Chain A
Amino acid sequence: MFDDIERRFRALAPAVESCTLRIERRREERLEVERDTPGPRRAGESFGGMVTVRHRGGLGYAATSDLSETGLAAAIGRAVDLAALSAQRMVPGFPEPAPLTAEAAYFGPEQRPWAEIRLGDRMAMLMDASRRLRIDERIADWGASFWSIDKEQLFLDAAGGRIAQRFHYLMPFLWASASAQGETQRRSFGDAGMRVGGAEVLDQLDFAAAPDRIARDAIDLLEAPNCPEGRMDLVLSPDQMVLQIHESIGHPLELDRILGDERNYAGTSFVTPDMFGTYRYGSELLNITFDPTVAQEVASYAYDDEGSEATREYLIRDGILMRPLGGATSQARAGLGGVANERACSWNRPPIDRMSNINLEPGEGTLADLVGRVERGVYMESNRSWSIDDSRNKFQFGCEYAREIKDGRLGRVLRNPNYRGISAEFWRSLKGVGGRETWEVAGTPYCGKGEPNQAIKVGHATPPCLFGAVDVFGGH
C-alpha cells in the first residue's frame, strides 16, 4: 500500500523548493483486566500522511487520512497555499530547506513477535497477574494491562529521499491500591516500562514476579509512617530518575523552548544559548547522552521525522552543558549545534523538537554501595507526582514508595515521600551514580508538548543516583 502512495506522491510533487510526505500506519491493541474482570479488547488502526512544503521562505503542512490520488493532491495544494501565505512572515532565521536524497531503512528489534501469542494467552497472563494482586481485603483496586503498538513509517522527499522505519512497542502495566481509614496507597509496575520489542519485554522487566511484590508493597505502605521532613541525602531508583532527568534536564535543553516557541503552552527554559560549552549543569559525575542507538529504548531510530540522521551525542559531559536538544530547524534559527530530534507523535501532527532517548551514563557500584554511603536519608522509588515551573527550575516530585536509610542500611517503609528543589542547583548535589549493572532502560508514551498538542514516546536509561542535602517531606 505504501508503494502505491509513494508512486502517487512522486507523480504529484509540485514545483517547489521542498516537498515531503510522511506516511504512518499505527496499529494498537489494549487489553485490560480490572479487579479480576476482563475488559473489552480495544484495537485501532490510524493511517494517514502529512505533506510539508517549503518554498521561498514559507512553510505549510497538510495532514490527511485520504491518501488516494485526489486526497493527496488536495493535501499538496493546501500545503502549497499555506507556504505561500507564510512566506516573508515566518519566525526569524527560518532556514532554507535541505533536500534529502538518501535512502535508508531501520527496523526495531522484536525477538518474540507479540502477534504470535494468541489473544487468549495474552488475556490469561493478565488474569493470572490480576488474581495475584488481591492479597488482602484492604486491596481496594487492582488490575493488569498490555498496550502494544506496531508503527510503520515512510518518509519521502520529492528530491528522492526515502526513509522506511518500523517499530513494535510493548507496555505492560500493573496496579494495586490499598485503602483503610481514610488513606489510600497505590503501587504500580510499568508506568515507565514501555520498550521496543515483543514478548521478550515481559522477561526483561520481570513481569511475572511483579504482582506479588507490588501487592505486598501497597499493604506495607498503608501501614507505614509518613516520610520524615528535612534536608537529607536522597537515593533515587532508576524508575524515579527517569522523571527527574525528563523534567529537569530533558525539557530545559529543548531548543524550541529556548527559542520561545513553547512559551504559550509547555513553557520556556532557564537555559540560555550562551550557556552551551561552559555552564556547570551538575557535578562531574553527570554525563547525559542523546542516544538513538539503544535498540530496546522507545526512541531509537535512524532518522528523525524531518529526515535528519540520528547519532549519539553528549548533551552534558562531566557536568558541563555541551549541546541542546534541537533539530535542524532550531539549530539554524539559534546558530547552535544539536541533534536529530524533530519528531511528531503521529501523521497528523508536525515535527517539533522532542526528547528522544535521553540517558544518564553509568558510574560505578551497586545500589547497596550508594545506600552504604548515607548516614541519614531516604530511598525513593516509582514516580507518582510531578510538578515543575515553566522554566523547568523549581520542582516538586513525589514517589509511591520509600525506605528510610540509617547508617548505610535500608530501614522501614515510608509513605507519601516527596522532595523539592531547583534544577540549576539539584544536579550539582549529585554525589553518586550507580554502575553499568544497575543501569535500566525505561520509556514513557506520555510526554506532552506542542501546539497542536502532541503526546510522544521518550526513552530514558539510567542507574540509581545519590543526591546530597535535598529538601524531603511527607504527606497530610
Chain B
Amino acid sequence: MRAHFEAVAAEVQANLKGGEDFLANFRAEDSTFIRFNKSAVRQPGQVREAELAVDLIDGRRHAESSISLSGEIGEDRSRIARMVSDLRGVLGDVPEDPYLLVSDTVQPSTRQIGEAPPPPDEIIDAVIQAGSGRDLVGFVAGGPVWTGFANGRGQRNWDEATSFNADWSFYAGGDKAVKTGYAGFAWDRRAFARIAADAAGRLEALTRPPRTIPPGEYRAFLTPAALNEIMAMLVWGGFGLNAHRTRATIFLRMIEGGARLDERVTLTEATAEGAAPSFQREGFVKPPSVTLIDRGAYRDCLVSPRSAAEYGAVTNGASRGETPASLSMAAGELPEADGLKALGTGVYVSNLWYLNFSDRSAGRLTGMTRFATFWVENGEIVAPLNVMRFDDTIYRMLGTSLEALTAERQLLLDPGTYDGRNLDSVHLPGALLSALRFTL
C-alpha cells in the first residue's frame, strides 16, 4: 500500500503547474467487521477502501477535494488528473485565505505497528465459543489502517497500524450486562478467552434483584470506562484554542472565572503514548505531549495551524477540530483493588452513556448509567441498580467531590468506526467521588 501512496503522491506532484503547491492526505483500510447478537453471527463483512484528499494551493488561494481510489494505479492516475484539474478551475473563484498555514519544515516519518489479526473464521469460532450458553452481543473489527501525508516540499509521512478491537457485552437480562473489550495490535487467542471468562464471571452480581434509588447525592466510584465518557465531553470543544477564544469551551469558568479542578487532575495530549499517527493534515508533526490541565489549572490549548494563524499563536500540530487523539490522565494513589472498600456505601458505576451539556458555560453535564451499575454497602456489592440519570458539574466531579484517583490506569482504544476505523485512545484511572448528583 505504501508504494501506491508514493505513486499517487508523485502523480499529484506531476499534475502541478506554475507556482502551485499541494497537501495530500491518504487513508486506506482493509477491515474485517463481524457483528454478533445472541452469541451468533448477525453481519459478517469486509471493507476495502482508499481515499486521497488534495489541497491545491496557489499563493494564498487554495481548495480541497477528496476522491475514492481504486487501488489500480492507471485508473487512479486518471482520477487524480481530473481532481487536480477541477481544483485548478475552482481556485479562480475562491478568495485568498488569510489563515492558511502549512508546515515549511520537512519532517518525514514512518511507523509500522501491529500484526495481522486472525482470519474471520477464527474470530467467529472464538467469539461463539466465549458466548456459548450466554447472551453475547458485540462487534469485532480488525485489519490494517494506512495513513499518509505528502506535500510539495517532498515531505512524506507514513503510518501503518494493524490492530483489532473486540467490543462486546454479556447480557444477564433486560438492560443489565457486563461490557468489556479486548483491543490491541497482536491478537492472542488465550488473552481473549481469559478476558471473556473474567467478564462472564462478573455476570452473577447482575442476576440479583435490581434496586432503584431515589434521586439525590450519593458517593460514587467511576471506572476508567465511565470516566472516559466524562472525558469525551471535555474533548468536545473543551481544549481547542478556537473554543477558548470564542468562549465556547466547557472550561469557561476556569479561563474567565478563576475556577479550578482538583490538584490531582492533570490531563495531557500524550501523542507518544497513543495509537494515533503523530502527523496531521497540514504536515505538522505533533510534540510527544501537550499538557492541557496541570494540577487542576488550565494550561495549554490544542492549536491547529488555522487557529495559530488567526490568533497569532504557535501550532502544536493539533487536528482541525483541535481535539485530543491520545488523552492521558495522571494516575492517583488509590489501589484499584481497594475501590469498593474506599467507596464504602454508594454507587459503583461501570459505564456511563449518552452524556451532554445541561449548561456548558457552567461546566454542567448530564448522562445515564448503563450496563452494570451497583449499589454498594460497606464495600460489598449488594445489588445492580436500575439506570439513573446524573446531572452535575465538572467542578464538583473533578474538583470538590473528587476523593481519589486510582493508581492503575487503563489504556482504552477507541472502537469507533464512523469515518473509518478510529485510532484514538485514552489512558485513564478510575475516580472516587464523595458525591454525585442523580436527578431521575
A interface residues, Cβ below 8 angstroms from B: 37-48, 59-68, 70-71, 75, 78-79, 82, 85-86, 89-92, 118-120, 123, 140-141, 177, 179, 181-186, 259-261, 263-265, 267-268, 348-350, 352, 384-391, 394, 396, 398, 416, 418, 420, 422, 448, 451-455, 474-476
Which residue, B45, B247, B358, has most C-beta atoms of chain A within 10 A? Answer: B45
Q: Which of B38-60 contact A (CB under 8 A)?
A: 38, 40-51, 53, 55
Are A61 and B361 interface neighbours, CB within 8 A? no
Chain B proximity of A278: nearest CB distance (Å)? 21
Q: Show 17 residue pairs from A and B whose CB-CB distance is below 8 angstroms, ordered by the A residue.
A: A41-B90, A43-B63, A44-B53, A60-B44, A63-B45, A65-B70, A85-B121, A89-B128, A91-B40, A261-B37, A264-B167, A389-B389, A391-B387, A418-B358, A451-B139, A452-B139, A476-B364
CB pair A123 B94 closer than 8 Å: yes
Determine which of A64, A89, A349, A475 lies in contact with B358 in the assembled complex, contact meaning CB atoms within 8 Å. A475
Q: Judging by beta carbons under 8 Å apart, are A476 and B49 in contact? A: no
Kindly identify which residue among A140, A396, A452, A455 contacts B366, using a CB–CB cutoff of 8 Å: A396
Residues of A within 8 A of B100 (CB): 40
| A59–B33 alpha-carbon span in the complex (Å) | 13
Residues of chain A with a CB closer than 8 A to B64's CB: 40-43
Smallest Cβ distance from A17 to chain B, in angstroms?
A: 16
B356 & A452 in contact (Cβ 8 Å cutoff): no
Give every chain B residue within 8 A of A71 (Cβ-Cβ).
70-72
* Total contacts A-B at CB 8 Å: 259
- Contact status B70-A390, CB under 8 Å: no
Give A31 Cβ to nearest chain B Cβ, in Å.
9
The smallest beta-carbon distance between A92 and chain B, in angstroms, is 6
Given contacts A118-B93, A394-B368, A398-B358, contact A90 B40 (CB under 8 A): yes
Interface size on B, residues (CB 8 A): 88
9-residue interface stretch from B200-208, B252-260, B268-276, B294-302 = B252-260
Is B185 close to A, CB under 8 A? no
Say yes or no: A141 contacts B247, CB within 8 Å.
yes
**Most A C-beta atoms less than 10 A away, residue of B35, B64, B75:** B35
Cross-chain contact B55 with A40 (CB below 8 angstroms): yes
Q: Chain B at the A interface: mostly helix, strand, loop or mixed?
A: strand
Question: With A41-B63, A44-B66, A398-B357 as given contacts, are A184 and B439 in contact (CB-CB < 8 Å)?
Answer: no
Q: Which residue of B lies closest to A448 (CB)?
A: B418
Of the residues B45, B66, B353, contact of A82 by C-beta under 8 Å = B45
Question: A396 to chain B: which residues have CB within 8 Å?
Answer: 356, 358, 366, 389, 391, 439-440
| Neighbouring B residues of A38 by C-beta, 8 Å | 94-95, 97
Q: Is there contact, CB below 8 Å, between A40 and B175?
A: no
Chain A: minimal CB distance from B252 (Å):
6
Decide if B62 touches A40 in the complex (CB within 8 Å): yes
Residues of chain A contacted by B389 (CB below 8 angstroms): 387, 389, 394, 396, 420
Kindly report which residue of chain A lies nearest to residue B365, judged by CB atoms. Answer: A387
Asked if B169 is an interface residue, CB under 8 A from chain A, the answer is yes
User: Is B42 touching A90 in the complex (CB atoms < 8 A)?
Assistant: yes
A389 touching B418 by the CB < 8 A rule? Answer: no
Q: How far is the CA of A179 from the CA of B244 in the complex (A)?
A: 11
- Option from A66, A86, A268 in Cβ contact (under 8 Å) with B72: A66
> B137: which A residues are within 8 A, CB to CB?
260-261, 263-264
- CB contact between B43 and one of A59, A186, A389 (< 8 Å): that residue: A59
Q: In the bound complex, what is the Cα–Cα distance between A254 and B43 (angstroms)?
A: 17
- Contacts A63-B49, A91-B41, A451-B417: A40 and B97 contacting too (C-beta < 8 A)? yes
CA distance A202 to B76 in the complex (A): 37
Chain B residue, CB-CB nearest to A185: B361
A65 touches B252 (CB 8 A): no
CB distance from B387 to the nearest CB of A (A): 5
Additional A-B contacts beyond A140-B246, A350-B43, A396-B356 (8; CB < 8 A):
A63-B46, A67-B70, A86-B44, A123-B95, A177-B246, A260-B135, A264-B169, A389-B387
Q: A183 CA to B359 CA in the complex, in Å?
A: 10
Question: How far is A274 from B17 in the complex, measured between Cα atoms in Å?
Answer: 67
Determine if B327 is an interface residue (Cβ-Cβ < 8 Å): no
Asked if B334 is an interface residue, CB under 8 A from chain A, the answer is no
Whether the pair B40, A89 counts as a contact (CB closer than 8 A) is yes
Tell me the nearest residue of chain B to A178, going by C-beta.
B247
Contacts of A66 in B (CB 8 A): 48, 70-72
Those 4 A-B pairs whose CB atoms lie nearest each other, nearest first: A475-B359, A141-B246, A451-B139, A179-B247
Nearest CB of A to B125, in Å: 9
